[in-house]
Structure 1
Amino acid sequence: MLEINNQDIKGQDYEALLELALKKCDCFAFVQRKDMMEDESVIMKLHNNLVEPIQKSLIKVNEQSSWIVTSLLEGTAYVFYYELNEETKNFLLSSSDSLFDWNRPPLPEDLMFFKGNQIWLASCSHERFFIINDDYKHIGELIEEIRSIKKR
């Protein structure tokens, strides 16, 4: 995995990243950390209102203490897994215009994309880094592929 620090993907590049993810991945996930919730019922109500448009694409919700970019010392988080399709891509695009905007509040955090059980890209928004699979040897290769999507 290649780790990219302090290089957010924003605006048109973010839109192209989502197009590329749609071509390469079949699932995405994001996280609501229970240890960061002052009132779980209020946070989950806000979360459910946010994701209501894509609820039919929900695959599963796991309660986990770790995921690809984070291991909690204590507590757990809800990790929501969704099908990646045109509708959910549009949701991701309308909810944010930046990879690092996926941070609480108001959005869930740590946006991740998968092909089957393999991670393609995972962000840790509050620490401002993301990892990408071994298809890319450096950030320039990813940006080049993103920008080639924008030209089409």
Structure 2
Amino acid sequence: MHVQKDEGMETYGMRMYTDPRGEAYEQVIGLAIRNSEYFVLGEKIPADVVRGHYTSVLDALEPYLVKTIVIQGDNRDELTQIRNTYRSNAFYTAGTYYFYRCCEESGNLLKQMANRLSDWIYPSLPEDLCFLKEGGGDYLYSVVHEHMYGMEVTEEEAIELMDRITGLFLELKSHRNLDRLLDDAIKHKTDWLYISGHGLTELPERIRELTEMRDMEIFEQDLYRLPEGLFKLSKLERLRIMTADLESIPYQ
């Protein structure tokens, strides 16, 4: 199911290249629970659509439910007002939104119910897990249909968290340096990467070290040569290259 995003939607905080998974997901959930007042899950299906099996998830979380907000599809003013009130990426379309109290017990349920943020999507689970700070604003947000994830942290905090949590891969200003970008991409075993604006004529051979890569986009105007290592990435499913004059593709 595709959800139409509101045209006025803004994203806040520092973006992630991709969402953390496995142990990194659990650590990030623990961090968000400690730094947030509520977490929010959305149910954005039409009223006449049958719910998925995630009703058991809503039942399990029921003891921690604080409030519910329903935004009607034809009420754009209400949507804008709620988004501005909470300053959150959670509210970008009509639906039913559930606010849950952040505590160790509710956090443990979130860790058990999913393996990564992108798991929070219909029909498997209620959608777009977001954490709201006391007084409003996201600490952590996800808009799964748009592959958008982020945290409200400073550059310094992001660097410290990335040092501590392998698998949390945030976009840093220092990633304008390709070597630093690749260092972090390799360390955090990212499965998605966008390379652009580095003035490259060829990709470094160490690209082969991105062993978990599934989806890569490269936008380099002067790129003309690709390393053989790029085609040794066994998990790569999608490769998009935008350049002016590619010399050749290595024979495999």
2-side partners of 1:94 and 1:110: how far apart? 16
1-side partners of 2:106 and 2:44: how far apart? 21
Partner in structure 1 of residue 150 of structure 2:
131
Identity %: 24
Residue 67 (structure 2) pairs with residue 49 (structure 1):
no
Q: Flag the structure with more relative contact order, 1 or 2, with Cα contacts below 8 A and sequence separation at least 6.
A: 1
Partner in structure 2 of residue 112 of structure 1:
130
The AA in structure 2 aligned to 1:124 is V
8 Å contact from structure 1 (residues 96, 102) kept in 2: yes
Residue 119 (structure 2) pairs with residue 101 (structure 1):
yes
What TM-score, normalized by structure 1, do the two folds share? 0.78
The AA in structure 2 aligned to 1:129 is M
Q: CA deviation at 1:79?
A: 0.7
The AA in structure 1 aligned to 2:38 is C
More helix by share: 1
5+ unaligned residues in a row in structure 2: which ranges? Answer: 1-11, 72-78, 167-252
1-side partners of 2:113 and 2:147: how far apart? 18
Larger radius of gyration: 2
2-side partners of 1:16 and 1:3: how far apart? 18
Q: CA deviation at 1:14?
A: 0.3
Deviating 4+ runs (over 6 angstroms): none
2-side partners of 1:97 and 1:58: how far apart? 22
More strand by share: 1
8 Å contact from structure 1 (residues 136, 142) kept in 2: no
8 Å contact from structure 1 (residues 29, 79) kept in 2: yes
What TM-score, normalized by structure 2, do the two folds share? 0.49
Partner in structure 1 of residue 21 of structure 2:
10
